Chains A and B, each alone.
Chain A
Amino acid sequence: MKSLQLALTALCLLSALWLVVLIIRDRTPDRFVLNALAVVEVGLLVNMVLGIVRVTSEANDVAAWEYVAYLVGATLILPAGVVWSLGERTRGGTAVLLAAALLVPFMFVRLSDIWAGVA
């Protein structure tokens, strides 16, 4: 699960970088970045399944509802971002995708904080 999250984080940061370039050049999201985010979304669904299995099978003192809420929340960010972004095909719409792409790694940090009992 850790290596999956690291790979997804890398993909998100690369997408974010490309989105910054698109925003500077005043472009709308291209096929390239949308495909990358689609791959991330598939990974997030796998991550959610792995996480739910982990929290229900392994011994832990994590608040299960909180952990699962974050797992599910992480899968909703990109679809919500894409829908909201496509509603306005401008630089602002591209920036929405950038925010969504940066939010995913943040959710991973929260997830491991919750698992470690920090948050």
Chain B
Amino acid sequence: MPDQRLRHGFGRLLVFVYGVFAVAATGRSTLQLLTVASEAPLAYGLSALAAVVYLVATFALATGRRSLALVTVGIELVGVLLVGLTSLLVPQDYADTTVWSDFGSGYAFVPLVLPVAGLWWLLRNRDSGDLGR
């Protein structure tokens, strides 16, 4: 059941920033996959995954789909932490940087802040006494 609260107030800002990342990541990874995919398959594959996650998260937040938003924002948080950590520990495994490399330091750490802000917003706006949903 859509929860319209998710797209208002602070949610308005979240949807905008998610939308910017969705557009930017999609454009970037599409061109990378079309032109230089073989140079860094892991990095560009992860970029494409990130693009899909941002797209679905934007859609879920904008339309108030709470569980879909929780899943995508959760994947995003795990992704940025995992890729951030491994890009520091085993940088040789990454032939090129991704949006999540070094915890998103190339994007002013917004990729790290965004899922945390998203989770906070989703949990803040859940219905009290309606646990287990």
Contact = CB atoms under 8 A, between A and B. Distances in A.
A98 B6 CA distance: 20
B74 to A, nearest CB: 23
Interface residues of B, number: 17
A85 to B, nearest CB: 8
A92 interface: yes
Contacts of A50: none
A77 B27 contact: no
What's the dominant secondary structure at chain B's contact region? helix
A65 B27 CA distance: 11
Contacts of B27: 69, 73
Interface in A63-117: 65-66, 69, 73, 77, 80-81, 84-85, 87-88, 90-93, 95-96, 99-100, 103, 106
B12 A92 contact: yes
Contact of A92 (B9, B23, B106): B9
Contacts of A80: 16, 19-20
B10 A95 contact: yes
Interface of A, secondary structure class, is helix
A95 B13 contact: yes
B35 to A, nearest CB: 8
A99 B24 contact: no
Interface of B: 8-13, 15-17, 19-20, 23-24, 27, 31, 106, 108
